[in-house]
A and B are shown apart, each in its own frame.
Chain A
Amino acid sequence: GQNIDQPTEMTATEGAIVQINCTYQTSGFNGLFWYQQHAGEAPTFLSYNVLDGLEEKGRFSSFLSRSKGYSYLLLKELQMKDSASYLCAPMDSNYQLIWGAGTKLIIKP
């Protein structure tokens, strides 16, 4: 079956760095997306990885290891506005996104 595993909740301090891990099992693989979702709002796109390695985009970076079925999202210089849920979503062989339940990130001053 298809399965996504990411922590339910994480807490970090403003200005610090946090890494959100995601492991996945899918029927085929066509890349992996990370989305951010603030409470009561729609998900918004953060990053896409299809090859192994690190993709950096400003304060956010995303890493992929296809052989390990593993990805992480790295957030640097945390700001209060980064308090949100972060959704890991690999794309399967039918080009459908398989969504994890998300990691709720709480930023404390």
Chain B
Amino acid sequence: IAGITQAPTSQILAAGRRMTLRCTQDMRHNAMYWYRQDLGLGLRLIHYSNTAGTTGKGEVPDGYSVSRANTDDFPLTLASAVPSQTSVYFCASSDKTSGGNEQFFGPGTRLTVL
């Protein structure tokens, strides 16, 4: 692995189903983030983790949960998907939470909820 990976690349999901989006980084970054990106809107932060074992809520956390059991992995779970969660989801990581450290992004997961 080089950098940050996400799986699946894309998914079509029936409303009401549970879904986990996976994110793994091999850069030993302590901070990780989940964003969603919708047409005409900026990236919106769903949840973040400043270090393994801790998580926090972002701007749009409702309907999503995360865990950070170790440094490398940061899965995002939709407990019961709804059509408004149709979006492109990006995972990102950075070296530390202070200023000046850019976030590196995974390739994204395109999710469609029907």
Partners in one complex: yes
A residues 41-61 touching B (CB-CB < 8 Å): 41-45, 48, 50
Is A96 an interface position by the 8 A CB rule? yes
Task: Give Cα A96 to B98, complex, Å.
Answer: 9
Q: Are A48 and B100 in contact (CB under 8 A)?
A: yes
Select which of A30, A45, A91, A99 is within 8 A of B42 by beta carbon.
Answer: A99
Asked if B41 and A101 make an inter-chain contact with CB atoms under 8 angstroms apart, the answer reads yes
Would you call the interface of chain A mostly helix, strand, loop, or mixed?
loop
Q: Mark B71-106, 1 if CB is under 8 A from A, else 0.
A: 000000000000000000010000001111011111
CB of B61 within 8 Å of the partner chain: no
Which one of B42, B97, B99 lies within 8 Å of A4 (CB-CB)?
A: B42
Q: Are A42 and B108 in contact (CB under 8 A)?
A: yes
Task: Give 1 or 0 for each of B15-49: 1 = CB within 8 Å of chain A CB.
Answer: 00000000000000000000100001111110010
What is the CA–CA distance of A43 and B104 in the complex, to the nearest angstrom?
Answer: 8
- B residues near A (Cβ < 8 Å) are 35, 40-45, 48, 58, 90, 97-100, 102-108
